[in-house]
């Protein structure tokens, strides 16, 4: 039985990580063809990526979108988490459920819906519209991370601060914020990663200022640029993994 | 009694259908050590947090030093609280915890440090300022919480079962320290506890609570010697309740007929009785005497236990619903060696020490 379980786990991880390993391997392969056997080791795809102006502008678009999304979704997640854990009000449980509903919708549906709203209202498409779309899917994650942080924190700390003469606002800055800090950092990293990697909403809402994933997708039409895309993908994979690991570490450490 | 330092007037607090505090009237004298005593869930914490302004009463008025503070928020009230959980800020050092409430006074660094050090010294934690709260023991946390609340020199210090998390020895030494600190700073302490022994040793005055109501509010000796009803009698200390019926009454004495002890005269003690009243004669275990006189009754010893200074007996007899607990000092037990070691022993109630309570309630 033990062996079977071990075997199953091995298969699981191989299926999960083999494609990723292959992507990284081929990104260093000195050939435009994605085929074995591997040729010489090269960094030329990485160099080509660094010199591609379209790619660099897509990268900066993605950074702007991801940073803004991370900050705003964490901020609204913080407010929502404080509201639902620190105050009792009518409709509290309904609000909690409604916060998670956007996650249940297929992103394509959300994308189409947002696209039609933006076109209908004449708002047009821009980086801002992608940010709005990403806020919709990132805020629930921020909320989830922060709510678990707040639920583990006794409200007595804030009550003690108020009792010692600090009004609600200074109590927030002197007690609530520092205590919620690991959760905030974790939420920032997580939402940054989600926004940075997101494709479907960005594809619908970005028009002529593509994000990195949208740019990568557009390059797939040109077979000779495939290794360049692989190089880019490798960078994204590694950076995202680091951010996720840090974020998870912070979440588990806080308990 | 409107000149009381703290005055709670018809205070009520409800959470939906739950009545946590039910029409409480209390007066607390300045500079006193006042305790709220009662079983779990009787509304002690709720009453205390309303005093501190952390919760608002549903109805009623709170006066503090002649000012109506009912709707003054906690950060503007001259009260400070030591939380049941201590609530020591985990992200601040011990010193920063203690000095937390000083920010609004805009002290310079040296003065701030001086105040914090002085306060740490008061609670015997000199030199602990740079430690992190996670490095403290339970007793030390409790002292930090105390120092943090006292440093802002409140008019009233509210303590919510601050000693309940400590082991017995530490608790006893902290009780003595707490009382010493209270005398030293002269601040009014309102102390919540469910430990009656603790309340009796520490307090100037005790309010016994049950189900949101205050049953009795008086000095500890009165509480022990003159409980006003069955609930208080049973909650504070050990009490034997012997059923009886009033046979007759003069201005001085009341004659009660007990199936277990026969007819006996008791001092009236300012209460009024009428013939035929069903009463309970409340007798502390130490208020029985070994005797052979006409008032005495021979009862069966079902159990005995030796407690060093005292010998405890469980005794049953005719007309008793529950066994009596009788406590005899060891020296006296030795003098009555024969009676104490047999199966049956004759004891009598000392009338002056007994309290007559109505049978209902
Ligand atoms: N926030 C609240 N919401 C609903 N009910 C509450 C709330 N706080 C207290 N209660 C109820 O009010 C009653 C009194 O609670 P309180 O905490 O004052 O009791 P306590 O005497 O301090 O008990 P303990 O000794 O266990 O601390 C309890 O029945 C409790 O369930
Ligand atoms: Mg309590």
pTM here is 0.79
For A:166-195, CB contacts with B below 8 A are 166-167, 170-171, 174-175, 178-179
Q: What is the tally of structural domains in chain B?
A: 2
Domain end marker among B181, B215, B234: B234
- Alpha carbon distance A155, A175 (integer Å): 10
For residue B96, list chain A residues with Cβ-Cβ distance below 8 A. none
Cα A61 to Cα A55, A68, A144, A244: the distances in Å are 10, 11, 27, 21
Residue whose CA lies nearest to ligand 1 atom number 7: B15
Share of chain B above pLDDT 90, in %: 39
Interface residue A254 vs chain B (CB under 8 A)? no
Question: What six digits make up the tokens of B34?
Answer: 């006042």
Same domain (yes/no): B309, B214: no
B312-342 confidence digits (pLDDT tens): 889 888 778 888 899 988 888 888 877 777 8
Ligand 2 (ion): residues with CB under 5 Å are: B 45
- Check if B209 has its Cβ closer than 6 Å to any atom of ligand 1: no
pLDDT-based confidence at residue B262 (cuts at 50, 70, 90): confident
Q: Which residue has the tokens 């040729």?
A: A39
Q: Is residue B16 part of a domain?
A: yes
Same domain (yes/no): B216, B269: no
Burial of A227 (0-12, 13-18, 19+ CB in 10 A): buried
Q: Is residue B127 part of a domain?
A: yes
pLDDT-based confidence at residue A191 (cuts at 50, 70, 90): very high
Question: Domain of B22?
Answer: 6-234
Count of C-beta atoms within a 10 Å radius of residue A92: 12
CATH number assigned to the domain comprising residue B176? 3.40.50.300
- Alpha carbon distance B182, B330 (integer Å): 36
* Residue B192 pLDDT: 94
Same domain (yes/no): B111, B246: no
C-beta separation of A28 from A43 below 8 A: yes
Same domain (yes/no): B162, B182: yes
- Alpha carbon distance B303, B283 (integer Å): 19
Domain end marker among B204, B234, B264: B234
* Residue B100 pLDDT: 94
* Residue B361 pLDDT: 47
- Check if B44 has its Cβ closer than 6 Å to any atom of ligand 1: yes
Looking at chain B, the number of H-run helices and the number of E-run strands are 10, 20
- Which ligand lies nearest the alpha carbon of A88? 1
- Alpha carbon distance A217, A116 (integer Å): 23
Q: For B72-83, what is the mean pLDDT?
A: 92
Residue whose CA lies nearest to ligand 1 atom number 28: B41
* Residue B3 pLDDT: 64
Sequence length of chain A is 255
Q: Is residue B85 part of a domain?
A: yes
Same domain (yes/no): B268, B119: no
B41-56 confidence digits (pLDDT tens): 999 999 999 999 999 9
Same domain (yes/no): B23, B154: yes
* Residue A240 pLDDT: 84
CATH number assigned to the domain comprising residue B253? 2.40.50
Residue whose CA lies nearest to ligand 1 atom number 29: B41
Domain A52-253 = CATH 1.10.1530.10: no
Same domain (yes/no): B213, B104: yes
Angle at B290 between CA B288 and CA B291, to 5 degrees: 115
* Residue B258 pLDDT: 86
Q: Is residue B190 part of a domain?
A: yes
Q: Which residue has the tokens 């009660």?
A: B256
Asked if B85's CB is within 8 angstroms of A161's CB, the reply is no
Q: Is residue B1 part of a domain?
A: no
> Which of A154, A159, A178 has its CB closest to that of B91?
A178
- Check if B194 has its Cβ closer than 6 Å to any atom of ligand 1: yes
pLDDT-based confidence at residue A253 (cuts at 50, 70, 90): low
Domain end marker among B186, B219, B234: B234
Q: Is the dihedral of CA B192, B197, B201, B204 positive or negative?
A: positive
User: DSSP letters of B312-331?
Assistant: EEEEE-TT-SSPEEEEEEHH
Same domain (yes/no): B159, B246: no
ipTM surpassing 0.90: no
Nearest by Cα to A144 from A66, A69, A63, A84: A84
């Amino acid at each position: 039985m033990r062996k079977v379980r071990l075997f199953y786990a091995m298969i699981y991880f191989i299926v999960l990580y083999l494609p990723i390993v292959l992507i990284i391997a081929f990104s260093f392969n000195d050939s435009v063809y994605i085929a074995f056997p591997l040729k010489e080791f090269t960094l030329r795809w990485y160099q080509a990526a660094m010199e591609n102006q379209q790619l660099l502008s897509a990268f900066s678009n993605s950074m702007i979108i991801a940073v803004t999304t991370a900050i705003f979704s964490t901020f609204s997640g913080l407010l929502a988490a404080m509201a639902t854990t620190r105050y009792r009000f009518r409709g509290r449980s309904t609000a909690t459920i409604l916060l998670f509903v956007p996650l249940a919708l297929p992103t394509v549906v959300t994308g189409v819906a947002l696209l039609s709203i933006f076109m209908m209202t004449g708002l047009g498409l821009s980086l801002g519209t992608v940010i709005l779309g990403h806020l919709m899917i990132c805020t629930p994650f921020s909320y989830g991370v922060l709510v678990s942080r707040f639920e583990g924190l006794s409200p007595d700390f804030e009550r003690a601060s108020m009792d010692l003469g600090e009004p609600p606002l200074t109590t927030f800055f002197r007690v609530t914020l520092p205590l919620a800090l690991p959760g905030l950092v974790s939420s920032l990293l997580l939402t940054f990663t989600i926004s940075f990697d997101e494709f479907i909403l960005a594809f619908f809402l970005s028009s002529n200022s593509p994000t990195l994933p949208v740019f990568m997708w557009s390059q797939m039409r040109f077979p000779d640029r495939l290794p360049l895309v692989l190089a880019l993908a490798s960078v994204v994979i590694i950076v995202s993994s680091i951010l996720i690991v840090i974020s998870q570490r912070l979440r588990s450490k806080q308990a | 009694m409107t000149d009381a330092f703290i005055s709670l007037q018809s205070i009520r607090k409800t959470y939906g259908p739950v009545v946590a505090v039910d029409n409480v009237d209390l007066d607390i004298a300045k500079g006193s050590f006042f305790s709220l005593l009662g079983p779990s869930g009787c509304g002690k914490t709720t009453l205390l947090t309303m005093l501190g302004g952390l919760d608002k009463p549903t109805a009623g008025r709170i006066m503090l030093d002649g000012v109506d503070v009912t709707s003054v928020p906690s950060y503007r009230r001259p009260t400070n609280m030591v939380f049941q959980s201590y609530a020591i800020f985990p992200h601040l050092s011990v010193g920063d915890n203690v000095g937390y409430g000083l920010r609004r006074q805009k002290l310079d660094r040296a003065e701030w440090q001086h105040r914090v050090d002085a306060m740490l010294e008061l609670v015997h934690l000199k030199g602990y300022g740079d430690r992190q709260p996670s490095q403290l023991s339970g007793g030390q946390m409790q002292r930090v919480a105390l120092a943090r609340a006292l440093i802002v020199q409140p008019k009233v210090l509210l303590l919510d079962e601050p000693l309940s998390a400590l082991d017995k020895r530490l608790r006893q030494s902290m009780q003595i320290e707490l009382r010493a600190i209270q005398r030293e700073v002269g601040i009014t302490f309102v102390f919540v506890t469910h430990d009656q022994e603790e309340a009796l040793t520490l307090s100037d005055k005790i309010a016994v609570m049950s189900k949101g109501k205050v049953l009795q509010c008086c000095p500890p000796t009165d509480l022990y010697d003159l409980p006003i009803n069955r609930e208080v009698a049973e909650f504070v200390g050990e009490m034997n309740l012997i059923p009886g019926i009033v046979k007759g009454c003069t201005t001085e004495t009341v004659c009660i007929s007990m199936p277990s002890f026969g007819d006996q005269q008791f001092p009236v003690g300012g209460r009024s009785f009428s013939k035929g009243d069903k009463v309970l004669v409340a007798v502390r275990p130490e208020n029985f005497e070994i005797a052979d006189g006409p008032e005495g009754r021979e009862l069966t010893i079902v159990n005995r236990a030796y407690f060093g200074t005292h010998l405890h007996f469980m005794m049953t007899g005719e007309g008793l619903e529950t066994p009596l607990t009788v406590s005899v000092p060891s020296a006296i037990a030795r003098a009555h060696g024969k009676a104490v070691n047999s199966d049956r022993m004759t004891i009598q109630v000392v009338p002056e020490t007994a309290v007559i309570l109505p049978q209902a309630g």
